Structures are given as structure tokens and as C-alpha cells.
A = this chain, B = another copy of it.
Amino acid sequence: MIKEGKVVLDLELPQVISSRMEVFYNPHMRENRDISLLLLLTIPFEGLRVCDPMGASGVRLLRMLLETNKVERAIYNDLNQRAVEFFRRLLESNNIGKEKVEIYQEDACLLMRKLRSLHYVDVDPFGSPVPYLESSVIPLSRYGILAVTATDTSVLSGTYPKTCIRRYGSMPLLSAEFYHEVGIRILIKKVVEEGAKMDYALRPIFSYSYRHYFRVFFQKDLGPKRTDALLQKLGYLLYCDRCLFRGSVVLEALVHVCPHCGNRLLVAGPLWLGDLWDRELVENMWQMRGIVNISESTNKLLKRIREESKLQTVGFYTISSMSEAFKIGQPPPLERFLQVFEGVRTHFTGEGFRTSLSHEELIRRSHELLQRA
């Protein structure tokens, strides 16, 4: 028998706590549950609807029911049949009325996407919370709390930087003495981003690192303005591993100067710098035209793209942008530009062309064009 708070569990602990336990109960997560109880108690209204989509033993929900007196509805879910049965027995032995609990046994993401008006959702999976974040933000009502546990702390802290970039889209920093804090800040960025794409402002309100996991609580608010305000606090950390200097910058502060004219450069991105077309595919599609009945416009579009895909630069030039920048009063027709700059047309605009010339060479030839025009 195990006692945690007011809950008594009819369980024997194995020597090693692992996800292979018949019903998962981790005594080392007691502090995790304690903290969530305290946080739930601070919510300034009653009749809460709370959800644990990876419920396992169900201790978290049961403690919320027994120890806070604020929960109107506890929504439990676990894919594991034994866990669900264990939780049912736990409810009975603790005399929890059925009207207070909903029990599901399905995919956590699917369930969360079907629920609404929750005051509290707890994402506490084995491993990374990333696959659950988008789904978990949806059922929360305004001012609702999202609790996120991440046990992939070695990824977030920089032991596997490539995995961190893949999963969280950010570069970690194992060299800093506060690498765990960097990890938590990357986790927060990811949650903020997942909310922001749907105009939800998820503000971090309580974070900590403990034993093998990170934990952050977010409060959800709505609307573009509140979301924009949060996004202004995303940026980069600069760190000197010699003298320990640390500073932070936002993207806009990364000032660059034009190597050609010395003007301040504009920055866009992050964005895709690779090819826009697989050339072999374009050729294959071109060959398929006879098989399906395509419109004349489709044919034109494909023809243009077929030409364009032979010179896949990042960006192109247009007659008007060049005329303005290089003061070409009466620009010649596009054909002349294609010739002078060894260009190909682009489907993006009828007056544009791509060239593989260097910018210096382009400017040199522009002057020639200007003199001859």
C-alpha cells in the first residue's frame, strides 16, 4: 500500500520505476503533483473542469478531487485498459461520485481535440510533450491552465543539439552553466509558438527543473494583440564561454550592413533556402500533359515553371525594381534583360527574371544597359 496526500493506492512498487509497470505510478513525481495541486488552489474560481489525458494510475486527478474541493469534473484518459480499470477501482474505494468523473480510453490527442471549456489540462507523457502540444491548447478555455512536463531534458539541455533543433526548432547551449534554464526557455518558446499559430497567448506563469524533468505552467489568453506581446519576448541568447558574458537579442537587433552599398539590410525568415522544384519531377509532369485534360492556363504555368526550375536562385529581380534602384529611365523589354543578365523568366511575375550572376556583376551590366538605353 502506498499513501500520497489523501490517496491510498493498492500497489506494490517494483524495484525499477518504468513505463513497463502494469499501471504506471511514479513516486518520484509526487512533487510534480504537489505543485499542480497548489497551483490549482490558486485559481480564483470554483467548479473546475480538469483533464489528465495520460492519466496512468489517476493519482493526480484523485488528489485534485479529494484535496482541493474545487473540481466539478475530472476527465481521465489512458490507452491502457489496466490503468483504466485501476482508476475505476480507486474511485470506488475513495467514494468518488460518478457524476464527478469522465473516463476515456483513447488516443490523447484525439480526445483533447474533442473536448472544450477545460480549466486545466496536464500534459505529462513519457518523453517529449511536443506531439501533444498543439492538441492540448485547443480544449482550454480562456484563462485556463496548461501544465507541461518534459522528460527529454538531455535534448533540451544540449546533449543532442540536432534532436533539439528538429523537435523544438531551437539551438540549445550545453556550454553554459545554466544549460537547464536554456532548456526550459526553449520548451517555453515551443509552447508559445504552438499557441501563437492559432492566436492563443500562452503565458508561462510557473517553471521549474526537478530531478529528471522540466515543468512549466501556462495560462491561456486569446487574441492577436496578447499573442504578439508574448512573441516579443522570444529571441536569442548570446554567451561567451571564456568570460561568461551573457546577453540576449531579438531578431530585429541582428543588424547587418549591405556589403555592396553599406545600407542597413532587411532580414526575413527563418525561411526555406533550398530548391523550390525537383527538376526531374517537373520534367515528368511536363510529359504527363497529354494524359489528362488540363487547361491552357495550366499548360502556360507549367511551361514557365519548367524554364524557371533550371535556375533556382533565392529571389529574383524585376524590371521595375532594377529601373528604380539603378535609375534606368526607359527600361528595355524583358527579353533584353534576359539576354544581358543571362536570365530565365519566373512564374511569380511577368516582369521578373532569375540570374546566377553575382550582385556586383549584375550592377556592372546594369550600368552598361543604362548607357546603351
List residues of A whose CB falls within 8 A of some B CB.
5-6, 30-31, 34-35, 37-39, 41-42, 63, 67-68, 107, 109-110, 113-114, 130-131, 134, 162-163, 165-173, 175-178, 180-182, 184-186, 188-189, 192-193, 196-199, 203-210, 224, 227-228, 230-231, 233-248, 250-251, 254, 256, 258-261, 263, 265-278, 281-282, 284-285, 288-289, 291-295, 297-298, 301-302, 305, 314-318, 320-322, 325, 346-349, 352, 359, 363
Contacts and interface: CB of A to CB of B under 8 A. Distances in A.
Contact of A171 (B259, B269, B346): B269
B266 A240 contact: yes
A349 B226 CA distance: 33
Contact of A227 (B35, B110, B166, B250): B166
Contact of A235 (B236, B269, B316): B269
B274 A181 contact: no
Contact of A177 (B269, B278, B347, B352): B352
Contacts of A325: 242-244
Contacts of A322: 244
A259 B203 CA distance: 32
A178 to B, nearest CB: 5
Contacts of A107: 113
Copies assembled? 2
Interface centre among A231, A270, A292, A315 (most CB of B within 10 A): A270
Contact of A210 (B6, B254, B301): B301
Contacts of A254: 254
A280 to B, nearest CB: 9
Contact of A205 (B189, B241, B271, B281): B281
29 contacts: A30-B295, A34-B292, A34-B294, A38-B285, A38-B294, A67-B293, A110-B113, A113-B113, A162-B228, A167-B197, A169-B197, A181-B348, A185-B272, A188-B276, A204-B272, A205-B278, A210-B301, A230-B274, A235-B273, A237-B269, A237-B273, A237-B315, A238-B265, A239-B268, A241-B263, A243-B260, A245-B260, A246-B315, A254-B254
A108 B346 CA distance: 34
A182 B314 CA distance: 9
A245 B270 contact: no
Nearest to A35: B298
Given A41-B288, A256-B238, A258-B245, A206 B271 contact: no
Interface centre among A171, A269, A275 (most CB of B within 10 A): A269
A245 B38 contact: no
B42 A236 contact: no
Contacts of A196: 165-167, 169
A332 B56 CA distance: 46
A291 B41 contact: yes
Given A292-B37, A292-B68, A240 B269 contact: no
Contact of A185 (B130, B271, B346): B271
A296 to B, nearest CB: 10
A239 B261 contact: no
A290 to B, nearest CB: 10
B224 A163 contact: yes
Contacts of A320: 177
Contact of A292 (B38, B175, B230): B38
